[in-house]
């Protein structure tokens, strides 16, 4: 099926933006991308300036993938609000044009960003794939066999030795705590979607190993709280080097997280 997207939408930049770890390119000619959301698989190929071939039906596109790619939000308009005197943010938005904030699975993002601490993006991806193969359900598509991200129920009997084999290192205790809290409903990841930012933040940080940066990543990339702008070592470097130590994202209100993604992509490109 073919669809049209008239707003900013660049699949390569989305995959390289640091917010997702399982989407990938599965074919170079024609260039085909694969995205996974829970049990749903999408293959998408660009075949024109604004047109794409997609592997799902119209109902799944509208109900699942349009929300996943945040297509009800106009990112071109958001980029236009950057004032001319914020030169670094403007440059970042040009470089990062096409990035969108994905609305990803809450459980997957919680575990993924616990894993992400002090790891490179390739290492994070490797650990997550090992976790999926070890505990996740295997499904077949026309193109490949895929292991879905495991649920808390599938991981409830996980032990330290198994997680060590997946490369989790010192994060093992954090992951086991998250599994127990979610499995036993001490934290209901779906229900806390309806609460305030502050309460959601406090719920997430009650899990071992979830500090400010991880909580804000989960809030931004799973709960679509776009006013959250996670600060890691890369963003801290930008704040110090280009903004004299003053966080520039607060000025952008509910678009702060979108600006953070532009900046993160831009600073990463600088060192690639």
CB atoms within 10 A of CB 227: 17
pLDDT confidence band for 5 (50 / 70 / 90): very high
Q: Which of 206, 221, 236 is the last residue before a domain boundary?
A: 221
213 and 110: one domain? yes
- For the domain that residue 32 is a member of, what is the CATH number? 3.30.310.260
Total domains, the chain: 2
**Bond before 219 cis per omega within 30 degrees:** no
What is residue 119's predicted lDDT score, i.e. its pLDDT? 86
Does the pLDDT of residue 31 top 90, yes or no?
Answer: yes
82 and 136: one domain? no
Give dist(CA 77, CA 226) in Å, integer: 15
Is position 242 within any domain?
A: no
Is position 6 within any domain?
A: yes
Q: Which domain holds residue 38?
A: 2-95
66 and 168: one domain? no
Q: Which of 49, 72, 95 is the last residue before a domain boundary?
A: 95
Mean pLDDT of the chain: 96
pLDDT confidence band for 94 (50 / 70 / 90): very high
59 and 150: one domain? no
**Residues 117-173: tens digit of each pLDDT:** 988 899 999 999 999 999 999 999 988 999 999 999 999 999 999 999 999 999 999
Is position 261 within any domain?
A: no
Work out the burial of residue 140: count CB atoms within 10 Å of its CB; fewer than 13 is exposed, 13-18 middle, 19 or more buried: exposed
Give the containing element (helix H, strand E) for 72.
none
121 and 160: one domain? yes
Q: In this structure, what DSSP letter does residue 165 have?
A: H
pLDDT confidence band for 271 (50 / 70 / 90): low
216 and 135: one domain? yes
Give dist(CA 270, CA 262) in Å, integer: 13
Q: Which of 95, 127, 149 is the last residue before a domain boundary?
A: 95
Is position 140 within any domain?
A: yes
Evaluate whether 235 touches 264 at the Cβ level (below 8 Å): yes
**Considering only CA atoms, which of 106, 99, 70 is closest in space to residue 217?**
106
Q: What are phi and psi of 31, to 5 degrees?
A: -65, 115
Is position 241 within any domain?
A: no
Bridge partner list, 27: 32
């Amino acid at each position: 099926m073919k669809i049209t997207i008239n707003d900013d939408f660049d699949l390569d930049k989305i995959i390289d933006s640091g917010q997702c770890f399982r989407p990938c390119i599965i074919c170079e000619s024609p260039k085909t991308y694969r995205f996974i959301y829970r049990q749903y698989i999408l293959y998408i190929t660009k075949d024109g300036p604004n047109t794409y071939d997609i592997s799902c039906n119209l109902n799944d596109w509208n109900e699942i993938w349009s929300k996943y790619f945040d297509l009800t939000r106009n990112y071109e308009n958001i980029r236009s609000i950057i004032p001319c005197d914020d030169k670094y943010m403007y440059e970042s938005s040009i470089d990062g044009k096409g990035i969108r904030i994905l609305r990803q699975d809450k459980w997957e993002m919680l575990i993924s960003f616990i894993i992400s601490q002090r790891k490179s993006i390739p290492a994070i991806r490797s650990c997550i794939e090992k976790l999926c193969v070890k505990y996740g359900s295997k499904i077949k598509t026309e193109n490949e066999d895929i292991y879905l991200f495991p649920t808390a129920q599938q991981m409830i009997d996980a032990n330290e030795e198994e997680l060590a084999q997946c490369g989790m290192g010192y994060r093992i205790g954090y992951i086991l705590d998250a599994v127990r809290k979610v499995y036993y409903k001490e934290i209901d990841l779906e229900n806390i979607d309806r609460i305030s930012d502050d309460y959601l933040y406090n719920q997430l940080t009650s899990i071992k190993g979830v500090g400010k940066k991880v909580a804000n990543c989960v809030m931004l990339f799973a709960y679509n709280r776009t006013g959250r702008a996670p600060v890691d070592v890369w963003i801290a470097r930008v704040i110090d080097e280009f903004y004299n130590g003053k966080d520039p994202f607060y000025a952008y209100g509910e678009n702060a997280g979108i600006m953070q993604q532009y900046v993160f992509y831009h600073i990463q490109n600088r060192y690639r």
